[in-house]
Amino acid sequence: MLYSDKVMDHFNNPRNVGVIDDADGVGEVGNPVCGDVMKITIKVDDTDHITDLKFQTLGCGAAIATSSIVTEMAKGMSIQDAVQISKRQVADELGGLPAAKMHCSVLATDGLKVAVDDFLRKHGREPIAGEILSEDPNFDPHAEEEEQAVAAENCHLHE
């Protein structure tokens, strides 16, 4: 399995790792197929722009790299724009991902969306991201058992 130099850079030198203690929003997501889990914390200013993000990811190299790049992509964005980041944009920003690792970019984008909705709920506002979680029409959270087994095996291969 070949990874781009940018994936390897974000895996070996992940950006924005950690937790924001006084976070405005928290998103925790997991992939039941392979066991990857991600937590993302965000700070949002008075104009609804994300000023800081931190993540913690337990998973393969692609899961860590996608989490890292999503935090870089979303920093400074409005929450409305941030929830529109797609798994394809994440993969493209990283110079591509193997097909068996695309679910990692879904984990990262969904974590951000859950954090944004958490922020909105805490401020008595309507969530905006819930309806677009895993919006990719090719993403099937109920994939056939054989596909799940392949994805699980690929998650645990040594990078």
What percent of the chain is helix, strand and coil (3-state, nearest 5)? 45, 15, 40
Token look-up 């940018």 returns 6
Active site residue 60: no
- 37-44, strands of its sheet edge to edge: 25-30, 37-44, 50-58
**Active-site entry in 104, 115, 116, 120:** 104
Active site residue 104: yes
Instruction: In whole angstroms, give the CA distance from residue 75 to residue 100.
Output: 27
**Active-site entry in 23, 29, 34, 85:** 34
Token look-up 């980041």 returns 85
Rg of the chain over all Cα atoms, to the nearest angstrom: 15
List residues with catalytic annotation.
34, 104
